């Protein structure tokens, strides 16, 4: 992969900031970008890859920004997109919200980051932890005298600096499972999958060596632990952070690694075993033309009674010309969001096995508007703490460092909604 230049454009296509890495593409080429985008959109042939003359534009859209990479080469598209997303990630870590305003306010840091992220069109250091050592948040503070040389500048393990020190050595392990669900209008489940991630927050001194034990079925079978007592989980598509020694995992399923400092995602996995949808929705949306819409939504918690789903948000679509909303809910509160054309029904805590009801009534204008509307689905957001759908468990986390300190691992489990949609008829 090699990018000739990277541009950040506002929503109208005006360059906010750009960096010419290679100098083989005229910077004015970007002027073709927006007209091209509009033209493609009109033709219904918009794609994240467009060309003008010799130049290829690979672009992503993020909030109200376009990030565009130009290249002359027959490059590797996935890698370019990954790089652009990485850029977004890095920027977001520096100024929380990445949008037009924050780019304008922080153009000095943006320039500095663009300088370190890529050189001559090739990605260089993209790890935000390490970048933060080069480029400090307080860009405005004056560094006097000789500045400290970041240790990673001369380091062998690229993801961790030497000489990290903490008073209290701790590791926080978050096991997060997201449920993706797609249900047809007739109530049949089209797609149900669990995407799990294990995230670590590492506050450990020195160069610690970590080993993580899971109730992995393959491991249990290897070690003969697969008795009736130990429940195990079969993981699919396991992917690890770069720090994990893949060869060891392939040999004996041991997950061993030297972690980066701070937050990072250690691994992800997928399970396509069909599970009962955790929150089931039944809905009746009756539309009486020229007069009213009546909506009835029933939500049922189909998980263990001991567990509780928190911050449940059910968004139900309503026609864009609806007015004068009235709601009745058996629990929680409903709110009309005219800008999104939905009713949001929020329930703070939703115990398993319970069933709740919401009714909504809207007026419709007597003059119908002309354009046809699509049929947006009902979306559900929720979080169930202390619970994993797959039943995955952290059995142990061993931490060994040559100075021999004691470190505490903390584990937290949570299940949340991913892309959770139920189509409406």
Partner 1 sequence: MPYLGSEDEVKELKKALCNPHIQADRLRYRNVIQRVIRHMTQGSDMSGVFMEMVKASATIDIVQKKLVYLYMCTYAPLKPDLALLAINTLCKDCSDPNPMVRGLALRSMCSLRLPGVQEYIQQPVLNGLHDKASYVRRVAVLGCAKMHTLHGDSEVDGALVNELYSLLRDQDPIVVVNCLRSLEEILKQEGGVVINKPIAHHLLNRMSKLDQWGQAEVLNFLLRYQPRSEEELFDILNLLDSFLKSSSPGVVMGATKLFLILAKNFPHVQTDVLMQVKGTLLAACSSESRELCFAALCHVRQVLHSLPGHFSSHYKKFFCSYSEPHYIKLQKVEVLCELVNDENVQQVLEELRGYCTDVSADFAQAAIFAIGSIARTYTDQCVQILTELLGLRQEHITTVVVQTFRDLVWLCPQCTEAVCQALPGCEESIQDSEGKQALIWLLGVHGKRIPNAPYVLEDFVENVKSETFPAVKMELLTALLRLFLSRPAECQDMLGRLLYYCIEEEKDMAVRDRGLFYYRLLLAGIDEVKRILRSPQSDPSLRLLEDQAERPVNSWASDFNTLVPVYGKARWATISKCQRVERHGPELPNTASFATSGPLIPEENKERVQELPDSRALMLVPNHQLTAECFEKTWLSLKVAHQQVFPWQGAVHPDTLQMALQVVNIQTIAMNRAGAQPWKAYLSAQDDTGCLFLTELLLEPENLQMQISVKQNKARTETLNSFISVLETVIGTIGDIKS
Site for partner 1 in 393-422 (CB under 8 A): 419, 421
**Could you please report the per-residue DSSP string of 326-383?**
EEEESSSEEEEETTTTEEEEEEEEEETT-EEEEEEEEE--SSPPSS----PPEEEEEE
For tokens 């409903």, name the residue.
334
Residue of 65, 377, 389, 416 interacting with partner 1 (CB under 8 A): 377
Q: CB of 225 within 8 A of CB of 209?
A: no
Please tell me the distance from the alpha carbon of residue 94 to that of residue 109, in angstroms, as a whole number: 8
Q: In the complex with partner 1, which residue's Cβ is closer, 15 or 363?
A: 15
CA distances from 362 to 333, 359, 374 (A): 16, 10, 18
- Is 34 a binder of partner 1 (CB under 8 A)? no
- Counting residues that bind partner 1 (by CB under 8 A) gives 87
- Is 123 a binder of partner 1 (CB under 8 A)? yes
Residue of 227, 370, 372, 406 interacting with partner 1 (CB under 8 A): 372
| In the complex, minimum distance from the CB of residue 391 to partner 1, in angstroms, rounded to a whole number | 21
For tokens 């160069």, name the residue.
207
- Is 47 a binder of partner 1 (CB under 8 A)? yes
- Is 134 a binder of partner 1 (CB under 8 A)? yes
Residue of 81, 172, 405, 413 interacting with partner 1 (CB under 8 A): 81
Interacting residues with partner 1 between 236 and 295 (CB under 8 A): 236-242, 245-247, 250, 268, 270
| In the complex, minimum distance from the CB of residue 384 to partner 1, in angstroms, rounded to a whole number | 21
- Is 11 a binder of partner 1 (CB under 8 A)? no
| In the complex, minimum distance from the CB of residue 140 to partner 1, in angstroms, rounded to a whole number | 8
Span of 185-193, 213-221, 300-308, 404-412 interacting with partner 1 by CB under 8 A: 185-193
Q: In the complex with partner 1, which residue's Cβ is closer, 354 or 423?
A: 423
Interacting residues with partner 1 between 309 and 368 (CB under 8 A): none
| In the complex, minimum distance from the CB of residue 223 to partner 1, in angstroms, rounded to a whole number | 21
Comparing C-alpha atoms, which of 173, 176, 235 is closest to residue 415?
176
Residue of 38, 39, 122, 338 interacting with partner 1 (CB under 8 A): 122
Please tell me the distance from the alpha carbon of residue 35 to that of residue 356, in angstroms, as a whole number: 50
Residue of 158, 230, 273, 330 interacting with partner 1 (CB under 8 A): 158
Q: CB of 423 within 8 A of CB of 377?
A: yes
Cα(first)–Cα(last) distance of the chain, in Å? 45
| In the complex, minimum distance from the CB of residue 322 to partner 1, in angstroms, rounded to a whole number | 17
Interacting residues with partner 1 between 219 and 238 (CB under 8 A): 236-238
As to burial, measured by CB atoms within 10 angstroms (0-12 exposed, 13-18 middle, 19+ buried), residue 133 is middle
Comparing C-alpha atoms, which of 83, 406, 402, 411 is closest to residue 258?
402
């Amino acid at each position: 992969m090699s990018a000739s230049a990277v541009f950040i454009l506002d929503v109208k296509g005006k360059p906010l900031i750009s960096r010419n890495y290679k100098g083989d593409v005229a910077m004015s080429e970007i002027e073709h970008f927006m007209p091209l985008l509009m033209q493609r959109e009109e033709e219904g042939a918009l794609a994240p890859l467009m060309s003008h003359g010799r130049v290829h534009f690979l672009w992503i859209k993020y909030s109200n920004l376009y990030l565009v990479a130009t290249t002359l080469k027959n490059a590797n598209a996935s890698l370019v997109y990954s790089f652009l997303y990485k850029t977004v990630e890095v920027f977001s870590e520096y100024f929380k919200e990445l949008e037009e305003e924050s780019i304008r306010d922080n153009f000095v840091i943006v320039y500095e980051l663009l300088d370190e992220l890529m050189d001559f069109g090739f990605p260089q250091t993209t790890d935000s932890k390490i970048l933060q050592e080069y480029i400090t948040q307080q860009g405005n503070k004056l560094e006097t005298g000789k500045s400290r040389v970041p240790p990673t500048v001369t380091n062998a393990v690229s993801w961790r600096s030497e000489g990290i020190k903490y008073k209290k050595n701790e590791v926080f392990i978050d096991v997060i499972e997201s449920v993706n669900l797609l249900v047809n209008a007739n109530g049949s489940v089209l797609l149900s999958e669990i995407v799990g991630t294990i995230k670590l927050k590492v506050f450990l001194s020195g160069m610690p060596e970590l080993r993580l034990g899971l109730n992995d079925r393959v491991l249990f079978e290897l070690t003969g632990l697969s008795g009736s007592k130990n429940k195990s989980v079969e993981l699919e598509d396991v992917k690890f952070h770069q720090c994990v020694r893949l060869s060891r995992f392939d040999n004996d399923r041991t997950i061993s690694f030297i972690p980066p400092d701070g937050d990072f995602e250690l691994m992800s996995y997928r399970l396509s075993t069909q599970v009962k949808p955790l929150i089931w929705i039944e809905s009746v949306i009756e539309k009486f033309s020229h007069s009213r819409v009546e909506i009835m939504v029933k939500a049922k918690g189909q998980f263990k009674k001991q567990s509780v789903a928190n911050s449940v948000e059910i968004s139900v679509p309503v026609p864009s010309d609806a007015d004068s909303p009235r709601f009745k809910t058996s629990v929680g509160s409903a709110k009309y969001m005219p800008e999104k054309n939905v009713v949001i029904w929020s329930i703070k805590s939703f115990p398993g096995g319970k069933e709740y009801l919401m009714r909504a009534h809207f007026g419709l204008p007597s003059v119908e508007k002309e354009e046809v509307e699509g049929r947006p689905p009902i979306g559900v957001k929720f979080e169930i703490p202390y619970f994993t759908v797959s039943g995955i468990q952290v059995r142990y986390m061993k931490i060994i460092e040559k100075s021999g300190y004691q470190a505490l691992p903390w584990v937290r489990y949570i299940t949340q909604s991913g892309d959770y949609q139920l189509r409406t008829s």
